[in-house]
Amino acid sequence: MISFENISKVYPGSSPALENINLFVKPGEFVSVVGHSGAGKSTLLKLLYTEEKPTTGVVSFDKINLLDLRGRELPELRRKIGTVFQDYKLLPKKTLFENVSFALEVAGRSDTEINEVAPKILDIVGLGDKMENYPREVSGGEQQRVALARALVNKPKVIIADEPTGNLDPVSTWEIVQLLLKINEFGTTVLLATHDKGIVDKISKRVVVMEDGRIVSDKKKGKYEL
């Protein structure tokens, strides 16, 4: 479903951020990408949601080379990929409901649909009773749950989570991880980048370890050493 073939990425004036990456992800997998800061995790994920292009090699999604996408195909791809980040990226002047409904609006859904879907998704992430609050009025963990709700509204095939728990306490961290696991159980592929060894051990799914832009280990389940 997702394939990185012979990928390298060199940012101008820097040493390679990625070198000779080969990684294949099947539909429905939960893959944790781990490694120290600077190992190349974010760059790898950026290639998939097309924020960066590889210097060499091919990134494909559903067998389509992302470099071949033209015009409308690019937003179509992006709708298949939900993203969440360490800093939530919520719109501060919109309520939690509006943050989620905005994503539906951009995708061209009708008001009727929006009013039906947005509260349902906020309920799923446990925030049905805080829909009218603003991001600053809720905790970091709750903001991240809104970000996750927003990432889910277009029923993406993949969720890319780049250090989603980087700013969270252990309890909120575990809540987010459990949500990711639940989303995965329902069939969505999950790619999680983190440097948190504790949560990866707990998740107990496939772990890809990166070091200096290379994949140094790829294990089906669980434990790893950094």
44 vs 151, which CB is nearer to ligand ADP?
44
**What are the distances in angstroms from CA 189 to CA 49, 76, 112?**
14, 17, 29
Task: Map the footprint of ligand ADP across residues 59-118, applying CB under 6 A.
Answer: none
40 vs 135, which CB is nearer to ligand ADP?
40
57 vs 135, which CB is nearer to ligand ADP?
57
Smallest distance, Å, CB 119 to ligand ADP?
A: 34
Question: Per-residue contact track with ligand ADP, 9 to 48, x per CB under 6 A?
Answer: --x--x--x-----------------x-xxxxxxx-----
Smallest distance, Å, CB 10 to ligand ADP?
A: 9
38 vs 170, which CB is nearer to ligand ADP?
38
Total of chain residues touching ligand ADP, rule CB under 6 A: 11
Question: Per-residue contact track with ligand ADP, 149 to 188, x per CB under 6 A?
Answer: ----------------------------------------
User: What is the rounded CA–CA span in Å between residue 111 and residue 60?
Assistant: 34
11 vs 24, which CB is nearer to ligand ADP?
11
Binding site for ligand ADP (CB under 6 A): 11, 14, 17, 35, 37-43
